[in-house]
Structure 1
Amino acid sequence: MKADSDPDQAGAVPAGHLVETLVDSVEILKGRFLHAMRDTVRLPDGTRATREYVIHPGAVMIVALLDDGRLVLERQYRYPVQAVMLEFPAGKLDPGEASLACAQRELLEETGYTAREWARAGVLHPVISYSTEFIDIWFARGLTPGQRKLDAGEFLDVFTATPGELLAWCASGKVTDAKTLTGALWLQNVLSGAWALDWQAAAP
């Protein structure tokens, strides 16, 4: 099949000839956090296949900018990869929680900061092959420090770094977290003026 060479079509909504149709669905696991499914689907050529995936409620990530241009970052041990990771503050949505409300809550709980202004940059899908997870990307500025409110059993360090330091860590492989790499891409383009943000004042 000839590849589509039209760049305007490359990012278009997939055409019907690529869609897989649900035939049957079985729940594999329903835990406190993970909800795994095994679906049988009909492929575009009429044959069948199975798709196993995790249902996720969605999450937010915050690129928090101090007045001097430094970024608020975290160090946190991530058990599945057995490593301390460098990350932007982030957290999952509670049932029925709005994305901005979640971002404000997570920034306060994890770092102690509140922000005067917020801007939603976009959304990322970190693991499209096996999860429904999406992460809304928020920028925050006009930060005021305060007291953290970590959850029970949550341990993380908060520190600051310049955009240049973060980008160097991304380039060297010190930062490998997918959402933080995506956040760094957004940050680089926002700071260069290539990508614009629509800032809004935080609700009183």
Structure 2
Amino acid sequence: MNPLVSDLLAHIATGSSDLNESVLESETVWTGRFLKVQRDRVGLPDGKEASREFIRHPGAVVIVPLLEDGRYLVERQYRHAVDRVMIEFPAGKLDPGEDGLACARRELIEETGFDAMEWAYAGVMHNCIGYSDEHIDIWFARRLCFKGQHLEEGELLHVHGATLEDLLECVRQGELTDAKTLSCLLWMQNLDGRGWTLPWKQVTVT
């Protein structure tokens, strides 16, 4: 391993208490259907104080579904906040107390109609650390079996098959800009001949 990388990981593992902030006061500014806006007054390491406003999010999952022919299932869906149709992998938020794999299976069936006989957890990503505590668990799915799509009311999307090369070209052209999907592409590239591995496990499909 590169010595600079080893040094960085060592610092992360041992903690960086000289950078930590302490919460002095906290208030919930606004509560929505599943998001909360919070404002904290914090103490800085240099002894000063600052205000932090951020969004509390329940967490989510993203799924990378692998087809038998080597392509991946992706979606095209209009996203109101950015006023455009986005290319992305299936994803959805965690329900209270919901297991990550259970959420991934539920969202994959709802959005694409497929369940999978094998699943692998690839880790977590934080997509908006400047203003939200949202975390997204990354799951890979293979040996897909079609069960029937069950979109939520008001949820409209198109499902397509695409190769890794297709998706990378979409990134190069500026068509694919979704953060969670870009993180998945990093995994996909490194699984494709660079030695990264996934802990695949079988599940029962009924």
C-alpha distance after superposition, 1:45-102 (max 9, x if no partner): 0100000000001000000000100100000100000000000000000011000000
Pairing 1:147-186 to 2, within 5 Å after superposition: 147-186=148-187
5+ residue gaps in structure 1?
none
Using the TM superposition, give the Cα deviation of residue 113 of structure 1 relative to its aligned residue in structure 2, in angstroms: 0.5
Q: Where do 4+ consecutive residues of structure 1 move more than 4 Å?
A: none
The alignment yields a C-alpha RMSD, in angstroms, of 1.2
Aligned counterpart for 1:10 among listed residues 1, 8, 11: 8
1:6 to partner: Cα distance: 4.1
Query: How high is the sequence identity, in percent, across the aligned residues?
Result: 51
Greater displacement, 38-47 / 158-167: 158-167
- What are the Cα deviations for residues 108-165 of structure 1, in whole angstroms up to 9, with x where unaligned? 0000001010000111000011111000000000011231011111111111111110
Equivalent residue letter for 2:199: D
Letter in 2 for 1:149: H
1:8 is matched by which residue type in structure 2? S
Contact 2:38/2:54, CA 8 A, preserved across alignment: yes
Seen in structure 2, the aligned counterparts of structure 1 residues 83 and 104 have a Cα distance that, compared at 3 Å, is same
Hey, what's the Cα distance between the residues in 2 that align with 1:27 and 1:197?
Answer: 39
Unmatched 5+ stretches in structure 2:
none
Larger CA deviation: 151-160 vs 103-112: 151-160
Count of aligned pairs between the two proteins:
200
**Cα deviation per residue 1:151-186 (whole Å; 9 max; x = unaligned)?**
111111111111110111112211000000111111
Question: How far, CA to CA, are the matches of 2:161 and 2:188 in structure 1?
Answer: 15
Instruction: Give the alignment's TM-score, normalised by structure 2.
Output: 0.94
Paired residues for 1:1-204 under 5 Å:
6-11=4-9, 12-13=12-13, 14-204=15-205
Residue 76 of structure 2 aligns to a residue whose secondary structure is: strand
Give the letter aligned to residue 7 of structure 1: V
Residues in 1 aligned to 2:112 and 2:52: alpha-carbon distance in whole angstroms: 38
